[in-house]
Chain A
Amino acid sequence: MTLFAFVLLLAMSIAGYIWNRQAAAALRAGGGRLHSLSGFHGMYAFLCRSFRFSC
């Protein structure tokens, strides 16, 4: 059952990755000039959730 907590965290992190990446890609497609590639926006959401003390 406790393993499910880790699975849940992983699932939410993956969801955050996909969502942020898509949002950044949409900004770029709309003509915006992003500081970071959309993959980094996704990765930030993924890592921030698990390991950052402040996001």
Chain B
Amino acid sequence: MSFIPVFVLILLWLALQGPVITAIVMNSLPDGALEGLDSGARQLIQAEISSIAAGNIFGTPEPWKMEAARQLVRLHDISVWALLAITLGLSGALVLFSRRRVSAEFRARHGVERIVSGLMIFCAVVAIFVTLGIIGSLLFETLKFFEKVPFTKFLFGINWEPQIPIREGQVAAAGAFGWVPVILGTMVITVVALVLAVPVGLMSAIYLNEFAPKWFRATAKPLLEILAGVPTVVYGFFAILVVAPVIRDFGQSLGLDVSPNTALAAGGVMGVMLIPFISSFADDALSAVPQALREGALGLGATRAEMMTTVLFPAAIPGIVGGVLLAVSRAIGETMIVVMAAGLMAKMTINPLESVTTVTVQIVTLLIGDTSFDNPKTLAAFALGMMLFIVTLVINVFALRIVRKYREAYD
């Protein structure tokens, strides 16, 4: 009956009515109104007509612009009423048509299942295409960046000073786009965070799962999970006001040279933020191991430690690695704590007592203030984003291979 679904028809109509009406209005302008104008100037006139049509009139526009605005409003009204009429007519026809199909033989359930299945496929495809679109847009800007800055200079360069001038006469850095110090800072902070979060998270999961009395587990687990809901900016305040000064004072008391903003402070607080992720994932993975495996190992004479290392962990490793992976992704992508507690200067150092910066922080600093999408300073943010995406992807693939290799499958 209807070969275009009404819902899709409405969406198509709404998507096309603006461009079509604008094209009609622009083509009906008096001769000579657009003569000799470039596309930018034509767009300005189009915007002015739209603005007048919306009731925002500045100064005294020419009569032909007023007439064009009136035509725009008129065509828009016609379009909306036509849409309503078509929706009503088509829907009404379909109501009558589908009513005629009701019969003892009609397989309505099969039809409903086919439509719902199609909708689910559509939703899955939309999610995939949106992801592909995001990657595509990132790739497009990244390629523009590499037209201006050689790929090798970016990949192997050890200087990062991207604050080059955007306007003429602006005082700024000479420009250096070597990303090594930036990714090194990211890795230092991530390692510091994981060194704290992985053991503490795993230990807490083991205790809560295997040793803790029920009342303690019932109290401690929700409290631990509250940590996951704390906004990262609050962790940032904690890092800058409490942890960083304590580390600085302690380091100075030992005679060490400690920066005011250290990778240790940012990474340490980030580690605290990650504990609930790892703990929760590991706890779920350990709980999912069949009780019979524990009892079998203990029945064969294994101690609890042997049971855990030889039976429990191999069985739970996919879940545990999943939690750690999530924590790594969070650590690499975390911005707020690092902006507040680590610093903005890119340094070639692996010393956690020095100030470092991360990829995400640099992306933020490159995209605030003056931006120009034909300037390497702004485009560098996309190149950094692309590299971050590739690094995260490689880590995920690598971790999945480890999971597959060490996984113990049980019925």
**Interface of A toward B, CB cutoff 8 Å:** 1-2, 4-6, 8-9, 12-13, 15-16, 19-20, 23-24, 27, 32-37, 40-41, 43-45, 47-55
Identify which of residues 135-189 in chain B touch chain A, using a CB-to-CB cut-off of 8 Å: none
Inter-chain contact A44/B112, CB cutoff 8 Å: yes
Inter-chain contact B98/A20, CB cutoff 8 Å: yes
Write 16 A-B pairs (CB below 8 A) sorted by A numbering: A1-B84, A8-B91, A12-B87, A34-B104, A35-B104, A35-B107, A37-B109, A41-B108, A43-B108, A43-B112, A44-B115, A53-B3, A54-B1, A55-B1, A55-B98, A55-B101
A55 to B101, CA, bound (A): 9
Which of B5-13, B40-48, B206-214 is the interface stretch? Answer: B5-13
Return chain B residues, CB-CB under 8 Å to A6: 10
**What residue of chain B has the Cβ atom nearest to residue A30's Cβ?**
B104
Return chain B residues, CB-CB under 8 Å to A15: 95
* Contact A35 B108, CB 8 Å, known A48-B115, A49-B95: yes
* Contact A4 B84, CB 8 Å, known A41-B102, A47-B115: yes
Query: How many pairs of residues, A versus B, come closer than 8 Å at their CB atoms?
Result: 121
The minimal Cβ–Cβ distance linking B362 to chain A, given in whole angstroms, is: 42
Return chain B residues, CB-CB under 8 Å to A37: 109
* Contact A5 B107, CB 8 Å, known A19-B95, A47-B116: no
**What residue of chain B has the Cβ atom nearest to residue A45's Cβ?**
B98
Inter-chain contact A51/B119, CB cutoff 8 Å: yes
The minimal Cβ–Cβ distance linking B83 to chain A, given in whole angstroms, is: 5
One of B1, B8, B104 near A33 (C-beta < 8 A)? B104
Inter-chain contact A49/B83, CB cutoff 8 Å: no
A16 to B8, CA, bound (A): 18
Inter-chain contact B87/A51, CB cutoff 8 Å: no
**What residue of chain A has the Cβ atom nearest to residue B80's Cβ?**
A1
The minimal Cβ–Cβ distance linking A11 to chain B, given in whole angstroms, is: 8
One of A19, A32, A50, A52 near B104 (C-beta < 8 A)? A32
* Contact A23 B102, CB 8 Å, known A35-B107, A48-B94: yes
Identify which of residues 237-273 in chain B touch chain A, using a CB-to-CB cut-off of 8 Å: none
* Contact A55 B84, CB 8 Å, known A40-B112, A44-B98: no
A48 to B99, CA, bound (A): 12
**Interface of B toward A, CB cutoff 8 Å:** 1-8, 10, 13-14, 80, 83-84, 87-88, 91-92, 94-95, 97-99, 101-112, 115-116, 118-119
The minimal Cβ–Cβ distance linking B141 to chain A, given in whole angstroms, is: 33
Interface centre among B2, B106, B118 (most CB of A within 10 A): B106
Inter-chain contact B115/A49, CB cutoff 8 Å: no
Inter-chain contact A51/B118, CB cutoff 8 Å: yes
* Contact A20 B97, CB 8 Å, known A12-B91, A48-B115: no
**What residue of chain A has the Cβ atom nearest to residue B1's Cβ?**
A55
One of B10, B97, B101 near A5 (C-beta < 8 A)? B10
Inter-chain contact B102/A49, CB cutoff 8 Å: no
One of B6, B105, B118 near A49 (C-beta < 8 A)? B6
Inter-chain contact A20/B99, CB cutoff 8 Å: yes
A32 to B2, CA, bound (A): 29
Return chain A residues, CB-CB under 8 Å to B112: 36, 40, 43-44, 47
A48 to B95, CA, bound (A): 10
The minimal Cβ–Cβ distance linking B59 to chain A, given in whole angstroms, is: 29
Return chain B residues, CB-CB under 8 Å to A49: 5-6, 91, 94-95, 98
The minimal Cβ–Cβ distance linking A26 to chain B, given in whole angstroms, is: 9
Inter-chain contact B108/A53, CB cutoff 8 Å: no
Inter-chain contact A9/B6, CB cutoff 8 Å: yes
Return chain B residues, CB-CB under 8 Å to A53: 2-5
The minimal Cβ–Cβ distance linking A13 to chain B, given in whole angstroms, is: 7
Return chain B residues, CB-CB under 8 Å to A19: 95, 99
A52 to B112, CA, bound (A): 10
A12 to B57, CA, bound (A): 40
A50 to B116, CA, bound (A): 12
One of A2, A44, A51 near B80 (C-beta < 8 A)? A2
One of B5, B13, B14 near A50 (C-beta < 8 A)? B5
Return chain B residues, CB-CB under 8 Å to A33: 104
* Contact A5 B5, CB 8 Å, known A19-B95, A44-B112, A48-B98: no
